[in-house]
Amino acid sequence: MGEFTEKVVVVSGAAGALGREVVRTFLQQGARVCALDRGEGRLAALGLDEGRPGRLEIFDGMDLSQPETVASLREQVHQRVGQVEVLVNTVGGFTYGETVYELSTETLRRMLAVNVLPFLNLCKAFVPDLIERGRGKVVTVGAKAALKGGAKTGAYAAAKAALLRLTESMAAELAPAGVQVNCVLPGTIDTPNNRAEMPNADFTKWVSPVEIAETILSLTSSQSDDITGAAIPVYGQS
């Protein structure tokens, strides 16, 4: 019996290129994974639990950018699974092209909606579980861009920086409750979408979703009980 056997883990953005690898990684460790997806039917089609000892619980139609999702999601998870022990937020989105002096309010709001609101609403739903238990782990997926803005990526960098600052603040808030909160900062992730958008790039220098998932697993293990408020770079060679 391993450390994660039957441990209840919530993963948002579970149908994405990174999210699905996070789900597979925890299932391989025997966890009971609540996989959240905004869409319908995608998770079931992926067969993420095939050949893995953990238990997969699928929650479709979960738009975490909407606050009204919180109460419904919390109730559904508690009814089907019970209290949550680990939260992993992989939801995010990228935009490129507008300079800061031309940046539209719509673009900035969209980046905040996809990169910040899901984390806040996920925490509203399940951080009370962690506090009540007196232990738990939260991991968010930021980006290297959270540390330094670049040309024509201002809205994205600002949203990821906001996510990182919120992660750090919550780490300080939850430390007395025995809950650790950390953020991973990937470089360019080797996904089909990124390859399609940057066909001339050197893919071998990018970081794989599997490597990021393994880092997340480590941050949610007992080996990381003394680590909180950290921003962990997972850049590959990019």
Structural domain includes residue 166: yes
Q: Quick check: helix, strand or coil at residue 230?
A: coil
Would you state the pLDDT for residue 59?
A: 97
Structural domain includes residue 139: yes
First to last CA, the chain: 37
Q: What is the pTM of this model?
A: 0.95
Would you state the pLDDT for residue 1?
A: 59
Query: Residue 36's pLDDT band (boundaries 50, 70, 90)?
Result: very high
List pLDDT tens digits, range 161-201: 999 999 999 999 999 999 999 999 998 888 888 888 778 88
Q: What are phi and psi of 19, to 5 degrees?
A: -55, -40
Structural domain includes residue 217: yes
Would you state the pLDDT for residue 206?
A: 87
Would you state the pLDDT for residue 130?
A: 98
Report, as an integer, the average pLDDT of 197-224.
92
Structural domain includes residue 93: yes
Structural domain includes residue 122: yes
List pLDDT tens digits, range 68-109: 888 899 999 999 999 999 999 999 998 889 999 999 999 999
In which region does residue 4 sit, left (phi positive, over 0), alpha (psi from -120 to 50) or beta (all else)? alpha
* Amino acid at residue number 96: Y
List pLDDT tens digits, range 17-33: 999 999 999 999 999 99
List pLDDT tens digits, range 118-153: 999 999 999 999 999 999 999 999 999 999 999 999
| 65: containing domain | 8-234
Structural domain includes residue 130: yes
Would you state the pLDDT for residue 236?
A: 81
Q: Give me the helices (H) in the chain, please.
A: 17-28, 42-46, 68-80, 105-115, 117-133, 154-174, 192-197, 209-219
Would you state the pLDDT for residue 200?
A: 84
Q: How does DSSP assign 80-101, residue by residue? A: HT-S--EEEE----------GG
Q: Above pLDDT 90, what percent of the chain?
A: 85
Q: Count structural domains, the chain.
A: 1
Structural domain includes residue 2: no
User: Which CATH number belongs to the domain containing residue 22 in this structure?
Assistant: 3.40.50.720
Mean pLDDT of the chain: 95
Would you state the pLDDT for residue 152?
A: 95
Instruction: State CA 215 to chain mean position distance.
Output: 12
Report, as an integer, the average pLDDT of 41-67.
95
